Structure 1
Amino acid sequence: MLKFALRRTAQALLVFVIVTFLCYVALYQLGNPFASLGENRVLPPETQAILREKFKLDQPLLAQYLNYLGNLFTGDLGIDYDKRLPVVEMIAHTVPNTMRLAVLAVALQLVIGICAGVLAAVRQGSFTDALISVSAITLMSVPLIVTAAALRDTFNGTRVLGITLFPQLPRTIAVEVHWYDELLLPAFALALGGTAFIARMTRTTMLEVLESDYVRTARAKGLRPRTVLYKHALRNAVIPIANIAAIELGVLLGGAIIVETIFQYDGVGYLFARSLRALNAPLLMAIMSYMVVAFVVLIALLDILCAYLDPRLRID
C-alpha cells in the first residue's frame, strides 16, 4: 500500500510540474505581461525592461520557473499588476467563498441526483422513470452558461413575504449582501448538470445491483423491500458515485468561472475572469497553479483511498 501511495504521489507531482510549466510558458514567454496597463495604455520599452528585471523575468526560462515554484510553495507570489496588492491575499479572500459554493453544489448534486436515480430505478419503465430520464438528458445537453443566465434573469431580486431570497444583480455598493444570501442560486445553477449526470449514473448502477446475486439472496431471506433497497443495493451502488463526487469537487474548487462571473459571486472563478480581462499575469498564474493543486491532490487521495478499500486496484 505504501508503494502504491508513493507512486500516486509522484504521478501527481509530475502532472503539477508539467501543467504549471506549460501555463508559465503561455503567460510569460508567448505573451508580454508588461505590454500595457489596460485601457490601451502602452508602456515604453524602457519601463517594460525595468519591470521584467524587477519580477526576475530577464533570467533563463528554467531559472524563472524554478524561482516561481519556490515562491509558490512559500506563498510569496508577488504583487498584483492592477491593484498593487499581494496576490496571496487576493486569492485567500476568495477561496472560502468558492469552497462554500463547491461544497453546497456537490451536496445538492448528491442528494437530488441519488434520490432521482433511485426513484427511476425502482420504478423502471414507468412514467416517473421516463420523466426523470428525459429531464436528466435535457439538463446535460443545455450549456451551463445558458442555465445559469436563465436562473439569474428569472429569480434576480426575488422577494417572498418581504424577504429578498436572491440579491439584485448587478450589485450596488450601498446594499450589503450576506454570503448566505448570494450562495444558493449560484450553487443550484452549478449543480444542475452534475445532478443530471449523477441521476443517470445512479439509475444504471442501481439496476445492475438490484439484479445481483446478493440482492436476490436478501429478498429470498424475507427481508423488507426497504431494507433490501437501502441497506444492500444502494450501499454498493453509491461507490462509483462517490468517485464522481470527489472529482466534481476538485473541479469546482478550482473555480466555477462561468457561474461565478454570471452571478458576480466573489470567488476564485470570478477573480480569474477579471484577471483574464486585464491580462493580469501574476494573478492568472497563481490561480491556475492552485486550481491544479486542488484537482491533482483530490484525485490522488481518491486513488489511494480506493486502493486501500479494494486491494485489487493496486499495481505491484
Structure 2
Amino acid sequence: MRKFVLLRTAQALLVFVFATFVAYIALFELGDPFASVGEKVLPPRTRAILHETFGLDEPLPVQYLTFLGNLCTADLGIDFDRRRLVSDLLAEALPNTLRLAALAFALELLIGIGAGVLAAVRRASFWDTLVTTSTVVLMSIPPLVTATFLRDRLSGLRLSDITLFPTLPIAFGHEPHWAQLLVLPAISMAAGSAAFTARLIRGSMLEVLESDYVRMARAKGLAPRKVIFKHALRNALIPFANLATINLGALFGGALVVETVFQFPGVGYLFVRGLRDLNTPVLISIVAYSVIVFVVLIALLDILCAYLDPRLRID
C-alpha cells in the first residue's frame, strides 16, 4: 500500500508540472499584455519598464521556474490590471466559489439521488418515465444554455416587496448580497449533474433491488422503507461514490461559465476577466490551484479505492 501511495503521489506531481507548464505556454502565446492595441498606447520605454518589473523580459522557462518557486511560498505576484496582490483577489473570490460549488453539489445529491430512487422503486410507472425523460433532456442542455435561460427569465424576480433574485446585469455601484446571487447559478450548475446522478442511481438501484440479500430482507418482513434505504440504497451508492469526487472537481470547472453568465464574484468570473485583460499572474495562479485541487481529489480517490480493493495495489 505504501508503494502505491508513493507512486500515485509522484504521478500527481508529474501531472501538475506538465499541466501548469502547458498552461503557461498557452498564456504566453496569447500575446503581450502591455502591447499597444487600439486606444491603448504605451511608449517603448514604459513597456520595457513594465516587462522588467513583472519579469516578462526573462525567457519562458525561467519565468515558469520562478512561478513554481513563488507558488511554494504563496507569493502569486501582482495583477496587471489593478496592481493588487493576486493572493488577495483569490482570497475574495474563493469563498464565493466554494459556497456555489457546495450548494450545487448538495442540490445534485438531493435531487439526483431522490429522483433515481423514485424511478427505480416505481419502475415502469409515470414517475419512472418522467425521471428518465427529463434526465435525458437536462443532460443534453449545456450549462451555458441553462444559465442564460434562468438569467433571462428569473433575474429581477420579485415576490411582493422582496427581490428574490437581483436584476442582471448588475447596475454600477449596486452590490447585492452574495446569498441572492447564489441560487440561480447553483441550479444551473446542478441541473446536468443531478440528471446524470439520477440515471446512475436508478440503474444501480434496479440492479441491487434484484439481488438475493434484498429479496431475503423482504422475505423476513422488513418494512419497505427499511429495505430500500438501509439495504438497497447503501449498496447502490457505491458506484456513485467513485464518481462523486471527480464530479465535485467538475463543478469547479462548470463555475467558469456559470459565474460569468450571472456575474457571480467567484474564481471563474475572475478568470474570465483576467483572460479578457491578458492578466497572466491571475490566470496562471487560478490554473495552478485548479490543477492542484483536481489532481489531489483524483489521487485521494485512487488511494481510497486501492485501500478498499487490495487487487488495485502494487506489490
TM-score normalised according to structure 1 size: 0.94
CA distance 1:46–1:34, change in 2 (3 Å): farther
Aligned to 1:63: 62
How far apart, in 2, do the equivalents of 1:217 and 1:38 lie?
A: 74
Tell me by how many angstroms 1:301 deviates: 1.5
3-state SS of the aligned residue for 1:291?
helix
How far apart, in 2, do the equivalents of 1:217 and 1:241 lie?
A: 24
Residue deviations 1:65-86 (CA, integer Å, cap 9, x gap): 2111011121112111111111
3-state SS of the aligned residue for 2:302?
helix
Identity %: 61
Establish whether residue 220 from structure 1 lines up as the match of residue 219 from structure 2: yes
Aligned to 1:269: 268
Equivalent AA in structure 2 for residue 212 of structure 1 = S
CA distance 1:70–1:206, change in 2 (3 Å): same
How far apart, in 2, do the equivalents of 1:304 and 1:156 lie?
A: 43
How far apart, in 2, do the equivalents of 1:37 and 1:104 lie?
A: 43
Equivalent AA in structure 2 for residue 103 of structure 1 = A
Aligned to 1:14: 14
How far apart, in 2, do the equivalents of 1:130 and 1:38 lie?
A: 56
The list of structure 1 runs, each at least 4 consecutive aligned residues, that deviate by more than 6 angstroms after superposition, is none
How far apart, in 2, do the equivalents of 1:162 and 1:61 lie?
A: 56
Tell me by how many angstroms 1:112 deviates: 0.2
**Is contact 1:106-1:191 (8 Å) kept?**
yes
Tell me by how many angstroms 1:44 deviates: 4.2
Establish whether residue 97 from structure 1 lines up as the match of residue 74 from structure 2: no
Tell me, which stretches of 5 or more residues in structure 2 are unaligned? none
Equivalent AA in structure 2 for residue 130 of structure 1 = T
Tell me, which stretches of 5 or more residues in structure 1 are unaligned? none
3-state SS of the aligned residue for 1:182?
helix
Worse-superposed segment, 41-50 or 80-89: 41-50
Aligned to 1:122: 121
Q: How does 1:133-212 map to 2 (within 5 A)?
A: 133-212=132-211
Q: CA RMSD in A?
A: 1.8
Equivalent AA in structure 2 for residue 194 of structure 1 = S
Aligned to 2:3: 3
TM-score normalised according to structure 2 size: 0.94
Tell me by how many angstroms 1:127 deviates: 1.6
Worse-superposed segment, 218-227 or 113-122: 218-227
Q: How does 1:275-314 map to 2 (within 5 A)?
A: 275-314=274-313
Tell me by how many angstroms 1:169 deviates: 1.1
**Is contact 1:87-1:282 (8 Å) kept?**
yes
CA distance 1:202–1:210, change in 2 (3 Å): same
Tell me by how many angstroms 1:172 deviates: 2.1
Equivalent AA in structure 1 for residue 60 of structure 2 = L
Number of paired residues?
Answer: 315
Aligned to 1:256: 255
How far apart, in 1, do the equivalents of 2:16 and 2:293 lie?
A: 10
Aligned to 2:237: 238
CA distance 1:169–1:68, change in 2 (3 Å): same
Residue deviations 1:51-75 (CA, integer Å, cap 9, x gap): 3333333334333221110111211
**Is contact 2:33-2:278 (8 Å) kept?**
no
3-state SS of the aligned residue for 1:85?
coil
Equivalent AA in structure 2 for residue 6 of structure 1 = L
**Is contact 1:254-1:290 (8 Å) kept?**
no
How far apart, in 1, do the equivalents of 2:254 and 2:290 lie?
A: 7
How far apart, in 2, do the equivalents of 1:67 and 1:175 lie?
A: 39
**Is contact 1:34-1:43 (8 Å) kept?**
no
